[in-house]
């Protein structure tokens, strides 16, 4: 494995203050972007930061395409279209992703300054100022710290997207990254008057076409590698059959993760038939989704990660099985094929 989970900033509060000063004193435009296929943390952290900077009178552009189930967070006219070139004297804020090919919405070249805020430990810390803190459960948690450092008063308009990011990356406080610190931060956001029950309910809404699509995906579920892996597929043909123009399927992998005995759950999503497959991975009990996806050229967290394989579904499946097999062996699991080799070798001695 070429990358490992890196530690966070040794003086995180000082780095957050440094980022706050850079943003607050920047005299020119500020462009904010995140990663492809944005989730609640990507949208929540960028939206909260934009609104905080707007309240300080800054000229900002947020370039992101949220999934349908998160679009309720966005006010009309709040998002900008992708840029082919950055404005002159622009500060580029890259959130929840490294400064690299997965950052989308604007070119990385041409920025007068790049500020990178991220909680993924595999982030290589490119840019003029990078703040990477894996101990924070979400980039939205870091943005909470950043807005506090900016001295902006918390409002419902700031708290709602920020809490959305935290809820997304902690699985509504069910994942292992749920810490006293993130619970305290969430409590402060709820104290603004935010209706926590209404927000968590709204985040579960899905279009009606989601459910027949879910049924088709569940029909593909298999349990290879001795039942330690749950694997499902979503094809473009399935989408066409249910007429689902919106892709709200990212949480399908979270459903199969709960199959008894499963340590790794994988959803293969056909993006371009025969050419591109998105891989979403979830894990438990010390098995690393991050390690699997790093082997596939992607990244993420230990419990949740992703990758893109530029190949057809069958090829992607073979590569995923190989990466999952390697990770399970590394974690000490004996697979049936390994046991068979041992028995065969013993009989031949």
Residue 108 in tokens: 């990385």
**pLDDT score for 3:** 37
Per-residue pLDDT for the chain (349 aa), expressed as one digit of tens each?
333 345 677 899 999 999 999 999 999 999 999 998 899 999 999 999 999 999 999 999 999 999 889 999 999 999 999 999 999 999 999 999 999 999 999 999 999 999 999 999 889 999 999 999 999 999 999 999 999 999 999 999 999 999 999 999 998 998 889 999 999 999 999 999 999 999 999 999 988 888 999 999 999 999 999 999 999 999 999 999 988 655 567 789 999 999 999 999 999 999 999 999 999 999 999 999 999 999 999 988 888 999 999 999 999 999 999 999 999 999 999 987 765 444 434 444 3
At residue 348, the pLDDT reads: 40
Q: Which residues on adjacent β-strands are paired with residue 276?
A: 272
Taking the model in full, what pTM does it have?
0.87
Give the CATH number of domain 12-202; options: 3.40.640.10, 3.40.50.1970, 3.40.50.1400, 3.90.1640.10: 3.90.1640.10
Helices (H) and strands (E) in the chain, counts: 12, 11
What confidence score (pLDDT) does residue 345 get? Answer: 44
The CATH code for residues 210-330 is 3.10.310.30
**Which tokens is 255 given?**
């459903």
Encoded tokens for 99: 């400064």
List where CATH 3.10.310.30 sits in the chain: 210-330
Q: What is the dihedral of CA 323, 324, 330, 336, to 10 degrees?
A: -120
Within the chain, which residue ranges are assigned CATH 3.90.1640.10?
12-202
């Amino acid at each position: 494995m070429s990358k490992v989970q890196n530690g966070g900033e040794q003086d995180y509060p000082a780095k957050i203050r440094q980022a706050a000063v850079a943003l607050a004193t920047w005299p020119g435009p500020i462009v904010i972007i995140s990663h492809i296929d944005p989730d609640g943390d990507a949208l929540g952290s960028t939206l909260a930061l934009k609104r905080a900077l707007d309240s300080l009178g800054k000229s900002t552009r947020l370039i992101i395409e949220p999934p349908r189930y998160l679009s309720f967070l966005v006010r009309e006219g709040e998002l900008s279209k992708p840029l082919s070139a950055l404005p002159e004297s622009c500060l580029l804020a890259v959130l929840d992703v490294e400064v690299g090919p997965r950052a989308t919405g604007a070119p990385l070249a041409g920025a007068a300054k790049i500020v990178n805020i991220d909680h993924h430990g595999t982030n290589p810390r490119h840019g003029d100022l990078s703040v990477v803190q894996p101990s924070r459960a979400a980039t939205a948690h870091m943005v909470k710290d950043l807005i506090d450092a900016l001295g902006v008063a918390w409002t419902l308009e700031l708290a709602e997207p920020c809490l959305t990011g935290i809820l997304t990356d902690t699985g509504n406080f069910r994942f292992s990254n749920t810490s006293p610190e993130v619970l305290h931060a969430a409590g402060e956001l709820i104290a603004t008057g935010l209706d926590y029950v209404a927000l968590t309910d709204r985040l579960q809404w899905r279009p009606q076409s989601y459910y027949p699509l879910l049924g088709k995906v569940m029909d593909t579920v298999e349990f290879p590698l001795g039942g330690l892996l749950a694997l499902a597929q979503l094809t473009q043909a399935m989408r066409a059959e249910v007429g689902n123009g919106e892709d709200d399927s990212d949480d399908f992998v979270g459903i199969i993760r709960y199959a008894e005995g499963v340590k790794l759950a994988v959803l293969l999503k056909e993006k371009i038939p025969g050419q591109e497959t998105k891989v979403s991975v979830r894990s438990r009990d010390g098995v690393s989704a991050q390690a699997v996806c790093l082997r596939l050229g992607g990244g993420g967290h230990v419990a949740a990660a992703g990758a893109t394989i530029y190949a057809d579904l069958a090829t992607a499946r073979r590569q995923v099985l190989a990466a999952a097999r390697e990770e399970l062996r590394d974690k000490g699991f004996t697979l049936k094929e390994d046991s068979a080799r041992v028995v065969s070798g013993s009989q031949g001695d």
